[in-house]
Amino acid sequence: HHGAAYNLSLALKRLGKDAESAAARERWQRIRDGKQRVATLRAQLRQTPNDAAIIGALAKQHLEMGDVQEAYRAYQEALRLQPREPELLLGLASTLTAAGRVSDAEGIYRAVLRQQPPVRGALEPLVTLLRQRGANDEADSIVAEAEKVTPREP
């Protein structure tokens, strides 16, 4: 991916397609930076194995780079260490959504909203998924219930 994105940016530049070249170069830089962050996180993990926070950060980085399978694997590993950690659960749900496993993601968002205290970070993505499949009444009900439990700040 890395080399191909760079070569594409050069080829587009030569063709005078500056906007497309800039977009390809930006993608190349994101991949390069992501690979550097992955390498740094892996080095940290060698120093402190079984650190769910580092594994979660690695999973998040893989997801940002579009590597859904690696993100899923890393989130599963982190959740074995900290099974109720909301940020890890939300990351897994985002990964499942990216993989097209929307009903699995919805289940995780619902579980996170049922935690005490409820994690509001699960509300918006769950409501979005419900509305995308036309379950507007259910989405409205979940929002109303969330407002009762934790009213929004003014």
Confidence class for position 17, pLDDT limits 50, 70, 90: confident
Check residues 117 and 139 and name the one with the higher pLDDT.
Answer: 139
Confidence class for position 9, pLDDT limits 50, 70, 90: low
Q: Which residues of 76-105 are buried (b: 16+ CB within 10 A; e: fewer)?
A: ebbbeebeebbbbbbbbbbbbbeeebeeeb
> CA torsion, points 128, 108, 97, 79, in degrees to nearest 10?
140
Copy the structure tokens of residue 62. Answer: 């893989």
Burial class (CB in 10 A: 0-12, 13-18, 19+), 126: buried
What is the structure's pLDDT at 123?
93
What is the structure's pLDDT at 56?
97
Q: What is the pLDDT of residues 56-97, one digit of tens each?
A: 999 999 999 889 999 999 999 999 999 999 999 999 999 999
